[in-house]
Amino acid sequence: MTADPIDREVSELKFREPEKGRALADALARTVRRAVEKTGRSPIAVMHVCGSHEQAIAKFGLRAAFPRELDVIMGPGCPVCVTDLPEVDEAVALATDGVIVATYGDMVRVPGTAMSLADARSEGARVEVVYSASHAVELARSTDKQVVFFASGFETTAVATAAVLLKGTPPNFSVLSAHKYIPPVMEIVAEMPGTRVEGFLAAGHAATITGWGIFESFVERHGIPVVVAGFEPLDILAGLLKLVELIRDSTARVENMYPRCVTREGNRRAQEQLWKVFRPTGGRWRGIAHVPNGNLRLRGEWSSVDARQRFRIDAARMWKHSPAALVERCLCVDIMAGIRSPTDCALFARECSPDSPVGACMVSTEGTCRIWSQYGGGYPDLGGSR
Ligand code: SF4
């Protein structure tokens, strides 16, 4: 699978050599031109489903090196951004009811319907930032109070939550799961009416757990190629090049361009732990609506540590409040669906900034608005518009 010289070099851990970057960018431009000629479609539209890919694209200025006829669309790849309002509301309700809520830093400022966890904290609730699931367990061991770990993230992070539960936790510890599972959302995007997406760049870190084989049935069903790519600039350029080659040749298959970490089977032990603790269930993703099997919830056997079972969570009381006027103008929903860009939002870099975020996309370090605000985005010669 890594037969040609460029593939071999990428797999040999030479990540940031400018000459190779230029060679890949030139090859990408030539291949995109050929793909446009062969397919008669322009631009060729591909989607990545990972905030870490967008972060690397912005940080290393790769978007400026992409040919104009290639549209690299940002998908719903930020787990904080897709955490739905009612999930945030549940955490806020618990915090305001006197439970200690422990969560990752990005989650604290994500707006809920009436308030964020940061707002709840400013009103006296105890909200603690933790760096891992085991850090949340340590916090529970240090107190007699109930500690709820508000757990967000894709399958990579869910595995860590599963591992701490399997190890055993103190009786005052429970989990409010907002974990999401990536593969089902690709189905939604592929089936969206009028979708322009002709290929997916899949996230290398999630595939280290699931394995690249998980995408085979998706490719078979939808006839759309998938390329698994890592997060170094050369990884991304090589991944896009492979993806456009597949589109040019009308070949729908899975290619693994991250062989130094990803295998066909993935990490079996991590998968066992994940599915011992979680079950996939349908639920809303902010911006994408209902995603069948897109949410990860604790299995029945774990009900004793499931905050939704342990507490009567009255999140509905938040829903009496109407969202703030600025929030109603937020375009996060369209940005996560890949329909619009941050620069299409009138609030971008004005009323909405990383210091004063209006929507979830400006909160998380993997949110597209935050990334574009930090590093710039879009094609510079088009004034920042994609
Ligand atoms: Fe929402 Fe702010 Fe992004 Fe506009 S700039 S879409 S308000 S997060």
Instruction: Reply yes or no on whether the pLDDT at 301 is more than 60.
Output: yes
Q: Are 201 and 238 in contact (CB under 8 A)?
A: no
Per the model's pLDDT, the better-predicted residue between 14 and 277 turns out to be 277
Q: Which atom of ligand 1 is nearest to the CA of 326?
A: 7
- Same domain? For 312 and 230 the reply is no
Q: Are residues 297 and 174 in the same domain?
A: yes
Does ligand 1 lie within 6 Å of residue 117's CB atom? no
Report, as an integer, the average pLDDT of 310-327: 77
Helix (H) or strand (E) holding 20, with range, is helix 18-39
Q: Residues of 204-219 as b/e, b for ≥16 C-beta within 10 angstroms? A: bbbbbbbbbebbeebb
Q: In what order do the strands lie in the sheet with 127-129?
A: 127-129, 100-103, 147-153, 173-179
- pLDDT-derived band at 298 (thresholds 50, 70, 90) equals very high
Do 107 and 245 fall within a single domain?
no
Report the CATH number at residue 303. 3.40.50.11740
- The range of the structural domain enclosing residue 364 comes to 325-375
- CA-nearest residue for atom 6, ligand 1, is 331
Minimum mean pLDDT range among 34-38, 46-50, 175-179, 326-330:
326-330
**Which tokens in the block code for residue 379?**
């094609």
Residue ID of nearest Cα to ligand 1 atom 8: 359
Whole-angstrom Cα distance, residue 22 to residue 234?
A: 10
Please tell me the predicted confidence (pLDDT) of residue 384: 37
User: Which residue has the CA at smallest separation from atom 7 of ligand 1?
Assistant: 330
Which residues partner with 297 through β-bridges? 279
pTM: 0.85
- State how far the alpha carbon of 199 is from the alpha carbons of 49, 60, 373, in Å: 11, 22, 27
Examine the domain organization and report whether 337 and 224 are in the same domain. no
Same domain for 10 and 56, yes or no, is yes
What is the tens place of the pLDDT at every residue in 78-136? 888 889 888 999 999 999 999 999 999 989 998 888 889 999 999 999 999 999 999 99
Residue bearing the bigger pLDDT, 251 or 8:
251
User: Ligand 1, atom 5: nearest CA belongs to which residue?
Assistant: 348
- Weakest-pLDDT range from 91-105, 177-191, 264-278: 177-191
The residue whose CB lies within 8 Å of the most ligand 1 atoms, and thus the one to mutate among 82, 85, 335, is: 335
CA-based nearest residue to 106, from 373, 377, 370, 375? 370
* Same-domain status, 175 and 94: yes
Give me the pLDDT at residue 322, please: 59
CB 283 within 8 Å of CB 224: no
Identify whether residues 10 and 59 lie together within a single domain: yes
237, 366: one domain: no
Predicted confidence at residue 381, as pLDDT, reads: 36
Judgement on whether residues 171 and 303 belong to the same structural domain of the protein = yes
Read off the pLDDT band of 195 (50, 70, 90). Answer: confident
DSSP per residue, 221-277 = HH---EEEE-SSHHHHHHHHHHHHHHHHTT---EEES-TTT--SS--HHHHHHHHHH
Helices (H) and strands (E) counted in the chain, each on its own, are 18, 11
d(CA 241, CA 246): 9
Element at 128 (helix H, strand E): strand 127-129
Within-domain flag for 229: yes
Contact (CB, 8 A) for 288 and 339: no
Q: What are phi and psi of 153, to 5 degrees?
A: 120, 165
Tell me what pLDDT residue 238 has: 96
Question: Is residue 6 within 8 Å of residue 257, measured between CB atoms?
Answer: no
Tell me, what's the pLDDT at 111? Answer: 85
Arithmetic mean of pLDDT, 355-372: 86
DSSP sequence for 200-236? EEEEHHHHHHH-GGGGHHHHHHH---EEEE-SSHHHH
Question: How many domains is the chain built from?
Answer: 3
Average confidence (pLDDT) over 42-58? 91
Pocket test for ligand 1, best of 74, 326, 332, 363 (most atoms within 8 A of CB): 332
Ligand 1 pocket member 372 (CB < 6 A): no
pLDDT band at 382 (very low <50, low <70, confident <90, very high): very low
Q: Are 113 and 174 in a shared domain?
A: yes
Q: Whose CA is nearest to atom 3 of ligand 1?
A: 369
Res 101: pLDDT = 98
Range of weakest confidence among 32-46, 86-100, 182-196 = 182-196
Residue 74 Cβ inside 6 Å of ligand 1? The answer reads no
- Is residue 356 domain-shared with residue 333, that is, in the same domain? yes
User: Above 80 in pLDDT, residue 207?
Assistant: yes
Whether 335 is in the pocket of ligand 1, judged by its Cβ within 6 Å, is yes
Co-location of 103 and 252 in the same domain = no
Q: Read off the pLDDT band of 17 (50, 70, 90).
A: confident
Q: Residue 341 and residue 327: Cα distance in Å, rounded? A: 17
